Structure 1
Amino acid sequence: MGELEDGHEADPAGRRRRPATVREAKALAHPLRVRILRLCLHRELTNKEIADRLDTTPGTVLYHVRQLVDAGLLVAAPVRTGASGALEKPYRSTGETWWLSFTGVGGESESPPAAAPLAAFQEELGEAGPESVRTFSRFALHLSDEDVAELDRRIVAVLDEFVATDDQRRDRPLHSGLFVLHRPAEY
């Protein structure tokens, strides 16, 4: 993986960070859709399998799956025969969300809306329990806007390396994480 002329990173498959479309940003604005994408990133799942995993109805899942498919973030996998002999239509994540930038979406130059990914992560962590945490770092730093951009760039560059080569580690346990930097309320 290397840096392209425009300063964006590319993975070995040739994907590179690009601005999210308004449709992609809207699709990612709901915690359930964020969770569906994560579940379908490493295995193909049907609406019913997703609904069972997320403790919701297949109809609710179908609505959100359609939003993700329309945005190009989820694709239908080949139809398969289920355990009962019925045909099943599984879905898988395209993995594109990692390579999306939210700066400039909808004419804004702000950071991406974090409510949906934060809510999804809280739900996932709640399901997994506190014993699932492998490592964390809590910190407080004094940073200029330029410092924030540099810290983000460097952390994302390290994560990009791991994301781009994750298919080489599929035999290892799956870990999930979230890097969040925020301004405390008292500032």
Structure 2
Amino acid sequence: MGTHLRPATEAEARALASAIRLRILRLCLDQALTNKEIAGRLGTNPATTLHHVRKLVGTGFLAAQPSRPGPRGSTEIPYRATGKSWEMDVRESGVTGANAAILDAFLEEVRLVDVEEGEFTRLGLRLTAEGHAELLRRLREVLDDFRMRQPAPDGEAYSLFLSLHRDVTRDT
């Protein structure tokens, strides 16, 4: 969404073509978490989670933070999301699956939410190519504005999923 996004490399696009990796990025957005903490929150095997964490670190989507003491004298490394994924377009990479991964991550996360607490809306539109481009540009401006704001220390965490797609049920 938007023309100021840089194209993702093939390695970056492959890293983002995984619902579990997208969920890891979301978990580490506001706070640094260790591999064990990530695995616990996702209900996944720590070894499998570590594979995904390493892929995200290797492509610059997660950054290791200073190590800290862990249980029984161990050392733990927490990881924090860099926000890099917001600034790139994976569509031109030639890697398939990135959009499916975003949808899968959303569906996995929204299943955990009380649907009565969410805000949902749908809108049907008929747009020219220019109208489509304008809508995407204006949405990106609003989303960029909110993304750049300092997080409110007493604020609640929210997620936003936006899908603009052809409505094949209304095509004539």
Structure 1 length-normalised TM = 0.82
1:65 aligns with 2:65: no
Aligned position for 2:142:
158
Kept after mapping to 1: 8 A contact 2:34/2:76 = yes
Task: State the distance in 1 between where 2:109 and 2:16 align.
Answer: 16
1:67, distance to aligned residue in structure 2 (A): 1.0
Q: Deviations over 1:26-53 (max 9, x none)?
A: 1000000000000001111111111110
- Are 1:41 and 2:19 matched, yes or no? no
Quick check: 1:132 aligned with 2:132? Answer: no
Q: How many Å separate the matches in 2 of 1:120 and 1:54?
A: 11
Separation in structure 2 between the aligned mates of residue 153 and residue 89 of structure 1, nearest angstrom: 38
Which structure 2 residues correspond to residues 25-40 of structure 1 after superposition, within 5 A? 25-40=13-28
- My pick for the range that moved more, 50-59 or 92-101, is 92-101
Gaps of 5+ in 1: 1-6, 9-16
Rounded to whole Å, the distance in 2 between the matches of 1:140 and 1:56 is 38
Matched, 1:181 2:164: yes
Letter in 2 for 1:25: A
Structure 2 letter corresponding to 1:150:
E
Rounded Cα–Cα distance in structure 2 between residues aligned with 1:168 and 1:63: 30
Q: Match for residue 80 of structure 1?
A: 68
Q: Which has the higher contact order (CA 8 A, sep 6+)?
A: 2
* Matches of 2:147 and 2:52, distance apart in 1: 25
- CA gap of 1:170–1:100, structure 2 versus 1, over 3 A, is farther
RMSD (Å), alpha carbons: 2.0
Q: d(CA) in 2 for partners of 1:20 and 1:146?
A: 25
Runs of 4+ in structure 1 displaced over 6 angstroms? none
Matched to 1:170, the amino acid is: P
2:112 alignment partner, SS class? helix
